[in-house]
Amino acid sequence: MSHPPPEPEAVISTDFRDVQEGPEFRELRRRHRSFVFPLAAAFLLWYFLYVLLADYAHEFMSTPVVGNINIGIVLGLLQFVSTFGITMWYVSYANRRLDPVATKIREELESEVEDK
């Protein structure tokens, strides 16, 4: 949803440093970081484990599971599955925990513009 550009006389200067230092924005940043950083670290560990296993554990990775499908193929496909899973988890988290706070901050900023 795009908004039309404001009329030149309607442009109001907002001090975004004040917004960033406000308690709501700090809470939004804390919630975002507390979700994203641990999950990114966990995913990177999982990815590097896969790479290291592929490079140094050939016998383990070539262990057959079903027919010509081996552990390496299964773990490789699980990389894709985990990427989509993390994406869906983040979208759900953002919808529940981040978007309401971000919407409130945006509405407060927009109401300040309307009041002036």
Please report the pLDDT score of residue 16 as a whole number: 81
User: Tens of pLDDT along 1-37?
Assistant: 666 665 655 555 677 888 889 999 999 999 999 999 9
Q: Print the SS3 string covering the chain.
A: CCCCCCCHHHCCCCCHHHHHHCHHHHHHHHHHHHHHHHHHHHHHHHHHHHHHHHHHCHHHHCCEEECCEEHHHHHHHHHHHHHHHHHHHHHHHHHHHHHHHHHHHHHHHHHHHHHC
Work out the percent of the chain whose per-residue pLDDT is above 70.
85
Over 90: is that where the pLDDT of 78 sits? yes
User: Tens of pLDDT along 31-56?
Assistant: 999 999 999 999 999 999 999 999 99
Closest CA to 99 of 16, 2, 24: 24
> Which position has the higher pLDDT, 1 or 98?
98
pTM of the model: 0.77
Please report the pLDDT score of residue 111 as a whole number: 84
The pLDDT confidence band at residue 61, using thresholds 50, 70 and 90, is very high
